[in-house]
Amino acid sequence: METVSTNLSFGGTQGVYTHQSTSTGTQMTFAVFVPPQAATDKCPVVWYLSGLTCSHANVMDKGEYRRKAAELGLIIVCPDTSPRGDDLPNDESWQMGQGAGFYVDATQSPWSKNFQMYSYVTQELPTLIAENFPADMTRQGITGHSMGGHGALTIALKNSDTFKSCSAFAPITNPSTAEWSKGALMAYLGADDAKWAEYDAVRLIENGARFPALFVDQGAADNFFEGCNPHALQNVCARTDIALTLRFQEGYDHSYFFISTFMDDHLTWHAERLSL
């Protein structure tokens, strides 16, 4: 692991790092904020997964999480959204390819060689974090935005023994049916619709996956509201014992103005559950 930069912020350290990934076969970049409490104790970890076209830098620059994370004693880990490189496959559409890994392990050529983002986020990067940062890996939460919200929900549902808390900002809740995600699932996973269900929060819940409680904020003025389909998640959770807190925020869109406004609420949600 190599350090790209570190900056003091709210008594903690905001760092950017790179390493050679065995999952993706590429150099990967990620950001970590370590709060001041980590000087004396290991701290719980909250993962933030970014959305389409984004990288680790979007939330680091615009998410406004450091003040609250420093107050609550949370380590914030921000991975990239895909492998990157001139010699890697890509697509002209912003909805797939580099910057749009959808947090899946691709099985189809040419994507399968490098686009192993599920394994990277759930296995390789957590090991690196545990080895290099004062992180209490027995207390992990996960959140994300849009495509990253989809990632947060599906990863939590598939790894409920690892994560103690899960939230999302405007997640793509049912990507098997959304026009802006179906093409990527087809490209990465093939034509078998059953494979898509492994990375679809609504269908995972329909097929028996469970998580104690989910917290979702959705902008009511989001131009991607239909594709996010919060009501699909609301309906499927209503048929289970999953406690869903779903808030529709009037006037808010899909941008980081929306995310930064409600970031404190999400970090507080995670801190309450990670303190148990």
Task: Please tell me the total count of domains within the chain.
Answer: 1
Dihedral angle over CA of 196, 197, 198, 200, nearest 10: 90
Domain encompassing residue 126: 2-21+32-83+107-273
Q: Is the pLDDT of residue 254 over 90?
A: yes
- Residue 217 belongs to a domain with what CATH number? 3.40.50.1820
Q: Which two tokens stand for residue 269?
A: 């949600």
Q: Is the pLDDT of residue 38 over 80?
A: yes
Flag whether 96 is in a domain.
Answer: no
Per-residue pLDDT tens digits for 126-141: 999 999 999 999 999 9
Report the alpha-carbon distance of residue 7 to residue 53 in Å, rounded: 25
Compare 255 and 276 and report the one with higher pLDDT: 255
pLDDT for position 151:
98
Flag whether 48 is in a domain.
Answer: yes
Specify the pTM: 0.97
Q: What percent of the chain lies above the pLDDT cut of 90? A: 98
Flag whether 154 is in a domain.
Answer: yes
Distances in Å between the Cα of 31 and the Cα atoms of 36, 98, 172 are 16, 18, 23
Per-residue pLDDT tens digits for 191-232: 999 999 999 999 999 999 999 999 999 999 999 999 999 999
Q: Is the pLDDT of residue 276 over 80?
A: no
Q: Is the pLDDT of residue 76 over 80?
A: yes
Report the alpha-carbon distance of residue 50 to residue 151 in Å, rounded: 9
Q: What is the pLDDT confidence band of residue 180, given thresholds at 50, 70 and 90?
A: confident
Flag whether 65 is in a domain.
Answer: yes
Whether 17 and 1 have beta carbons less than 8 Å apart is answered as yes
Flag whether 89 is in a domain.
Answer: no
Flag whether 102 is in a domain.
Answer: no
Q: Is the pLDDT of residue 5 over 70?
A: yes
Catalytic residues: 146, 222, 254
Q: Is the pLDDT of residue 145 over 80?
A: yes
**What average pLDDT does range 93-119 have in this prediction?**
97
Flag whether 127 is in a domain.
Answer: yes
Would strands 27-34 and 75-79 be described as parallel, antiparallel, or unpaired?
Answer: antiparallel
Flag whether 47 is in a domain.
Answer: yes
Report the alpha-carbon distance of residue 26 to residue 70 in Å, rounded: 32
Q: Is the pLDDT of residue 267 over 90?
A: yes
